[in-house]
Amino acid sequence: MLESLSRETGGLIFRHTNDLAGVMEKIEAGTASYYLLAYSAPAERRGKYHEIDVDVLRAGVKLSHRRGYYEDKPFDRYTALEKEIQVASVVASAKSPDGVDATTRCIQFPPCPSSQNDGSRKTGRCLVALEIASAMFEKLSLDICPDLEVFSFAVDYESGEIRGYCHSMARVKSAAGSAGFRYIDLMDLVPGNYEIRTVARNMKTGVCAVGVSRFAMTAQSGFALAAAFISPKSTWDNQISERSRPCPRPAEGEN
């Protein structure tokens, strides 16, 4: 896999060696100078693969370059893997490639009686809300398709690892007369400092709205809510994930 990846992208692979200094010298020599070539290719067919050939007249030169590229293709022709790769790319960059900005908000609930234990710390549940103002509706292509696929990832702020995840579907019911769209889901997390990255992707066009928020999950049992956050906005379309479930009520006699 690494050989194929390096060959197709014009890179190098170093195998079966512990000579790190020698490898670094080769990398430095190979990247100290390079040529950037650009050209306008004719548009033929979306999704078509184009091979790239580069030749030089100078003798004794070894070329390393990208072998080719695929033309962009419509989202409805993406494979399941390509759709996953698109989400992964958007989450990694924490920015919408389509310029659709959203707001992500998080609040912590008290620990549930059914909280899972990872061996050292109990998980708690947090509410994740994605808000998209109506000014972004046109960019999100809601006039073409009102159905959204919503992903939320909790990225550990120190290690960069993903520690929490939720995924569901939503439909913007009244895009024409709404001042905005708010979508709520639940996520289980162990205590820690996180960056919550939420992506709402139009299920037909692939256009993505992205919201990012920092969030600290504490081990405390209490929690506080801002009244402005939980109060519904009468002119907004408020929806709750169908997959989300409320915390079970404590058994009689439990606190």
Identity of residue 202 = N
3 state SS of 45: coil
Q: What is the CATH number of the domain that holds 224?
A: 2.60.40.2550
User: Which stretch of DSSP H or E encloses residue 16?
Assistant: none
Burial group, residue 129, by CB count within 10 angstroms (0-12, 13-18, 19+): buried
pLDDT per residue over 172-208, tens digit each? Answer: 987 666 789 999 998 988 888 999 999 999 999 999 9
Residue 247 falls inside a structural domain = no
My answer on whether 192 and 158 are in the same domain is yes
| Total domain count, the chain | 2
Identity of residue 8 = E
pLDDT per residue over 12-45, tens digit each? Answer: 888 888 999 999 998 888 788 788 888 887 766 6
My answer on whether 143 and 205 are in the same domain is yes
My answer on whether 62 and 93 are in the same domain is no
Last residue of a domain, one of 58, 73, 88: 73
pTM, 2 dp: 0.67
pLDDT of 127 higher than 50: yes
pLDDT per residue over 47-87, tens digit each? Answer: 678 888 889 899 988 888 888 887 778 898 888 888 998 99
My answer on whether 67 and 83 are in the same domain is no
Residue 161 falls inside a structural domain = yes
My answer on whether 102 and 215 are in the same domain is yes
Residue 234 falls inside a structural domain = yes
Query: SS3 for 94-140, per residue?
Result: CCCCCCEECEEEEEECCCCCCCCECCCCECEEEEEEEEEEHHHCCCC
Q: What's the angle, vertex CA 25, arms to CA 24 and CA 29, rounded to 5?
A: 115
> How many residues are recorded in the chain?
255
Q: In the prediction, which pLDDT does 126 show?
A: 86
Q: Minimal CA–CA distance to 140: which of 86, 104, 96?
A: 96
Q: Radius of gyration over alpha carbons of the chain, in Å?
A: 24
Q: In the prediction, which pLDDT does 101 show?
A: 94
My answer on whether 12 and 82 are in the same domain is no
My answer on whether 90 and 13 are in the same domain is no
My answer on whether 21 and 114 are in the same domain is no
My answer on whether 109 and 168 are in the same domain is yes
Task: Provide the residue range defining the domain that includes 137.
Answer: 78-240
Rounded distance, CA 7 to CA 139, Å?
38
The answer to whether residues 164 and 154 touch, using CB atoms and an 8 Å cutoff, is yes
**CA distances for 92 relative to 31, 154, 198, 247, angstroms:** 26, 12, 11, 31
My answer on whether 93 and 38 are in the same domain is no
3 state SS of 44: coil
Rounded distance, CA 189 to CA 55, Å?
54
My answer on whether 38 and 119 are in the same domain is no
My answer on whether 161 and 232 are in the same domain is yes
